[in-house]
Chain A
């Protein structure tokens, strides 16, 4: 069973607020990812990290930012939330020493911006 946790699970906030979505894993994985899942279910990679102090933007442009100060922690921040940021955000990690692409996902954070 995967040990990757996301908080909060659900968040409803007003426009302009700053929010941080937390993601932690206890598996010692170097690689971590953030996906945005739109209402049509499609998944878009918005950020990833190969290890401490390494962060890269994904395939979908996002106004969010991430940090990776500790191996187990990969938070995502929105400085000023807007209704267009309403979505589900999924965090994932991978050991992937053999580059086989298997990811472990958290349960997701569903964000609603009013």
Chain B
């Protein structure tokens, strides 16, 4: 079945460091790919998405490119801030999944130190 695998956390960075969180997926169809972010004590919110191969999603300085050849959707940010400390979830929604259910990775906790 479809699945999402993320790099394990926690990831600890200093402010202004470069961030990469790896995400790879397995899907039988043509999935849409997402990054959700969960700040402490809150629910998840959509950070960015890409709906087809080679699309780049971007928001708040974060970006991720849908790579069909490597089945990857790695999240990057050039210069992280303390306020970026959160848990990041990679997710997919398969085109053939009429329920619209998201399949989530296990989450990667990011901690940014001043």
Contact = CB atoms under 8 A, between A and B. Distances in A.
State yes or no: do A and B come from one complex: yes
B95 to A, nearest CB: 7
Interface residues of B, number: 28
A105 B38 CA distance: 10
Contact of B45 (A2, A42, A96): A2
Interface in B32-52: 32, 34, 36, 38, 41-46, 49, 51
A4 B34 CA distance: 20
A106 B45 CA distance: 9
A18 B55 CA distance: 47
A108 B100 contact: no
Interface string A64-102: 000000000000000000000000001010101001111
Contacts of A101: 32, 34, 91-93, 97, 100-102
A89 B36 CA distance: 17
Given A43-B44, A107-B42, A108-B43, 13 more contacts: A40-B106, A41-B107, A48-B99, A48-B101, A58-B101, A94-B100, A101-B91, A101-B92, A101-B101, A103-B44, A103-B102, A105-B36, A106-B43
